[in-house]
Chain A
Amino acid sequence: MMADTATRVSYGRALANLGGKYDFVVMDADLSGSTHTCMFAEKFPERFINCGIAEGNMISVAAGIATTGMPVFASSFAMFAAGRAFEQVRNSVGYPHLNVKICATHAGVTVGEDGGSHQCCEDIAIMRSIPGMTVVCPADDTEAYAAIEAILKYDGPVYCRLGRHPVPVVFDPESYKFELGKAVPVFEGNDCVVFATGVMVSKAIEAYDILKSEGINISVVNIHTIKPLDTETIIKYAAKTKHVVTAEEHSVIGGLGSAVCEVLSENLPTRLARVGIQDVFGRSGKAGELLEYYGLTGEGIAKKVRTLLGVSK
């Protein structure tokens, strides 16, 4: 059993390893120790640019570098990369469709003690609204590492959502294959499907075990790419189970839950419930406590499934 790992650490490791094989630039806004871009900076200082605390400038500088043909990874916390610098992401990177990878760490409430001002639960919503933007949210160490290599090889703007808090490693690095835009079925069951992303994938796996012991068999599908969305797989599982639950460490407004609703209401209207942050700001606390507080747990998902199926525990 591998130790729990934060996807920001996977990111730093991936950059440091890939830096020897590929030509790219990494940028940060004075958070390299937290985002783990420092791992790249130590090995390749000539290709690392610290922009200081000026995220908007960083994103537009990244765009300028990308026009010369070099891919750029630009990192900060999700709140600042997607929030503060939204307009630079939209106009400097998105509009000209430049090869900039915005890798934002400290997404969601698992930022922890820093509290609501730093817990970005809106980033998936705002990033997926930008035309041509790919939005990725890896579930664990294995997937995060593979995702970084995949987005490096992809030519175009990407927003990649990473976390601060260590999460269980659910995928085997030896056998796991990552494909941008392709959902990953984890468990098969006929009663309900849980579409989960990011840290909620391991929680959905917990929910699978909880519900199985109660005689309820769910499918669990990992949606690591929220845009472009694997609509085919979503429709397939909705058709099979007739009941859908989405799970994300993000607002229920505009994120994975909304994206799945959009697909299903247009193609296959299906009973659905969303696990996520229910239109409130975060608060200080330990990451684990916050996940409990907001119902972002295996039991939280199981409860939604039971309600949807009309069964009591």
Chain B
Amino acid sequence: MDSKKNKYLKEKAAEIRSLILDAVYYGGSGHPGGSLSSADIIAYLYFDKMNVSVENPHDPARDRFVLSKGHCCPALYAALALKGFIPVEDIKTFRHIDSYLQGHPDMKKVNGVDMSTGSLGQGFSAACGMAKAAKITGSKYRVYTIIGDGESEEGQIWEAAMFAAHYKLDNLTAFLDFNGLQIDGNIRDVMNPTPFDVKFQAFGWHVEIVDGHSFEEIDNAVKRSEGLGRPVMIICNTVKGKGVSFMENKHAWHGKAPKAAEYETAKKELDENLSKIRGEK
């Protein structure tokens, strides 16, 4: 990846993070931790990898994205807003009674959302369905999905993992947002779903392990893993709450909104980071 593209993606990710904060602050609730940890993966998909367009949002040939860990939709809404699928100012209506921006993604309400998700494990299966449909019809689109590490405690994740490998869904690329934390604490303490790499390998997947905040590593892994005849799992080592120092690696920030002072502090930090990125050569 050239430095210009890298800088561009960093900028987009920073803008996404800023909008995540707006969403959960003005919404008064939501899930900042996992939204922030998955922001770079979503920035990469929407601003580099995926073939989607605002002009033709329902194009049958478009790539698909399923946010299986649907509670992290502030990151998805932010990307959709920055792409022009929804107005940026609507982000502040997140979770409000009169808003179409539901607490979890609703494909019937939000332009650009390919699948309604929220109940953990189900989006991963739906992504498999989209990939299988392309195999049946001979369509060339790819399907991308993000699952959570805590989400991987759901049995359905492994049913879908079996399905994708069995049907050789090499048009499916999944990202595992491995931030190590879930609502009740460290995933290893709550119900250890690790190791992920050997498990997905044993299920028949091609597995890559990357720094989930490095666009270069993500991009290299994605490119390496296409055309191998197997579904792809990119395990992304991430930091929960990434980009807001007081939220980082704190499971308490899984699902709560910042107070006014916290919001100001977080926005200041994110703004400074954005200015720094913009100043880079």
Contact residues of A with B, CB < 8 Å?
A: 25, 46-47, 49, 51-52, 54, 56-57, 59-70, 87-88, 91-92, 95-97
- Whether A68 touches B119, Cβ cut-off 8 Å, given contacts A57-B125, A57-B160, A92-B125, is no
Contacting B115 at CB < 8 Å: which of A47, A51, A52, A96?
A96
Interface SS of chain A: helix
Contacting B122 at CB < 8 Å: which of A65, A70, A88?
A88
Query: Are A61 and B136 in touch, CB under 8 angstroms?
Result: no
- Whether A67 touches B162, Cβ cut-off 8 Å, given contacts A25-B136, A92-B122, is no
- Measured in the bound complex, the distance between the Cα atoms of B133 and A46 in whole Å is 11
Which residue of chain B has its CB nearest to the CB of A61?
B129
Interface SS of chain B: helix
- Ordered nearest first, which 8 A-B pairs have the shortest CB separation? A64-B129, A60-B125, A64-B126, A57-B159, A61-B129, A54-B159, A96-B116, A68-B133
Query: Are A70 and B119 in touch, CB under 8 angstroms?
Result: no
Among A57, A65, A66, A67, the one with the most B-chain Cβ atoms within 10 Å of its Cβ is A57
Nearest CB of chain B from residue A238's CB, rounded to whole Å: 36
- Measured in the bound complex, the distance between the Cα atoms of B132 and A6 in whole Å is 32
Residues of B within 8 A of A97 (CB): 108
Residues of A within 8 A of B127 (CB): 64
B229 touches A (CB below 8 Å): no
Residues of B within 8 A of A96 (CB): 106-108, 115-116
- Measured in the bound complex, the distance between the Cα atoms of B159 and A25 in whole Å is 20
- Measured in the bound complex, the distance between the Cα atoms of B106 and A52 in whole Å is 29
Which residues, 219 to 257 on B, are CB-close (under 8 Å) to A? Answer: none
Nearest CB of chain B from residue A89's CB, rounded to whole Å: 11
B100 touches A (CB below 8 Å): no
Mask, B111-124, CB within 8 Å of A = 1, is 00011101101111
B56 touches A (CB below 8 Å): no
Which residue of chain A has its CB nearest to the CB of B126?
A64
Nearest CB of chain A from residue B86's CB, rounded to whole Å: 18
- Measured in the bound complex, the distance between the Cα atoms of B138 and A47 in whole Å is 12
Residues of A within 8 A of B93 (CB): none
